Amino acid sequence: MQIITDITQLRELRRTWQSAKEAIAFVPTMGNLHQGHLALVAEAKKHASKVVVSIFVNPLQFGPDEDLDAYPRTIEQDKSSLERLGVDILFMPSVSDIYPRGLEQQTFVEVPGLSYMICGASRPGHFRGVATIVCKLFNMVQPNMAFFGEKDFQQLQVIKAMVTDLSMNLSIHGVATMRESDGLAMSSRNNYLSQEQRKIAPRLYEVISDMASAIEKGRRDFSVLIVGARQQLVEAGLKPDYIEVRAAESLLQVGHEDKHLVILAAAFLGKTRLIDNIQVKLN
């Protein structure tokens, strides 16, 4: 595995691959890799002859009161995991190479609508930061395809919309959420949980799974289900941020004709904000 920090060097290597007609898959990450990230890499390897992974903790997608400085960084461990999986390039640019004119002056990419709702309403500017960095990384790596976890379901929809809107020449693949044995969605932020909080955390998935079963059995009174689910989270010791039932692709309110739904939820356990989602396909 080649570790590249320099954008020019990345572009040179990219050119040689282009001449050799390699199919290039890209997995952007912020590091602190867990099985969820490694599943993205494994999926990427199935589809492409070369795999590039980036590690960049993107300041542009963190709000002023969020955990940018505390975000877990485990570079040596990450390198060994990626090496073991046979990744071709690990790209680790610096903040000054990515944002040479500073964060305040940075041109940004914003996907309207999708970026302002649900998580975007709780974290203003977050999806603008995500779309901007992902667009920049796509410009640098120029992959034929890129892989993202369905755990960040709204992020995946924002990126798909950006690719469509800006006529970007690559395919976007969503990969199913990896879960711990008790159902908790894998996330770097799980590292913040105390032992006590870790025992409570799987309730988030249990509660939305119960909602999904109820909807599959015919319940359509989503607002009643949401009130009940919020109550259950509070009783478990979680502080719900949002629980929503939406149409899976547009993330708009569910209409009669929608058959593919998603339940999205975020809740705080102490200072840690957990998110999860579950898709529901109706007949």
Please name which of 238, 254, 275 lies closest in space to residue 126, comparing C-alpha atoms. Answer: 275
Q: What is the bridge-based pairing of β-strands 145-149 and 89-91?
A: unpaired
Annotation says 260 is catalytic: no
* Stretch binding ligand PAF (CB under 6 A), from 22-30, 94-102, 117-125, 206-214: 22-30
Site size with ligand PAF, rule: CB under 6 A = 10
Identify residues 218-277 at the interface with ligand PAF (CB under 6 A).
Answer: none
* Stretch binding ligand PAF (CB under 6 A), from 62-70, 129-137, 168-176, 242-250: 129-137
Q: Which amino acid would we find at residue 233? A: L
Nearer Cβ to ligand PAF, position 50 or 123? 123
Q: Per-residue string for binding with ligand PAF, 141-180, x by CB under 6 A?
A: -----------x--x-------------------------
Out of 4, 10, 25, 30, point to the residue binding ligand PAF (CB under 6 A).
30
Contacts 24+ apart (CB under 8 A), 209-215: 209/183, 209/278, 211/243, 211/245, 211/263, 211/278, 212/263, 212/278, 212/280, 215/245, 215/261, 215/263, 215/280, 215/282
Please name which of 145, 144, 109, 119 lies closest in space to residue 275, comparing C-alpha atoms. Answer: 119
Q: Which of 37, 126, 256, 260 is catalytic?
A: 37
For residue 82 the two structure tokens come to 């990626």
Nearer Cβ to ligand PAF, position 30 or 48? 30
Distances (CA, A) of 274 to 65, 105, 266: 16, 31, 6
Q: Which residues would be at the binding site for ligand PAF (CB under 6 A)?
A: 28-30, 58, 61, 130, 133-134, 152, 155
Residues marked active site are found at: 37
